[in-house]
Amino acid sequence: QIAAKPVSQQLAAFWRIWTIKEAIIKQRGGSAWQMASIDSTAPSALSVSALQTGELSLAVCTPTPFELTPETIKVTGTL
């Protein structure tokens, strides 16, 4: 997935995949050591939503559908 992107988009693609995998692991109660074994593209009964805004990459994994949008988050302070 990452290598198929233009070089200028590869870092953002990496963080998108990383945050999705992290959200899945946290929802399952797992640990960071499971990161490599998680396929973030595989079909799942869980709902995964990701959002990239500026340099911020967010993802949530829930048992019921939830969509991350700029309206569902509030960023305070500076990044």
Q: Note the pLDDT tens digit of each residue in 4-36.
A: 999 999 999 999 999 999 999 888 887 777 777
Structure tokens at 60: 């949530």
pLDDT score for 39: 79
> Counting beta carbons within 10 angstroms of the beta carbon of residue 59, is it exposed (0 to 12), middle (13 to 18) or buried (19 or more)?
buried
Distance separating alpha carbons of residues 26 and 74, to the nearest angstrom: 21
Q: Mean pLDDT, to the nearest integer, of 40-56?
A: 85
Give the rounded percent of residues in the chain with a pLDDT score beyond 70.
94
Binned at pLDDT 50, 70 and 90, residue 45 comes out as confident
Distance separating alpha carbons of residues 49 and 33, to the nearest angstrom: 22
Instruction: Indicate the pTM of the whole model.
Output: 0.78
DSSP bridge pairs for 61: 48
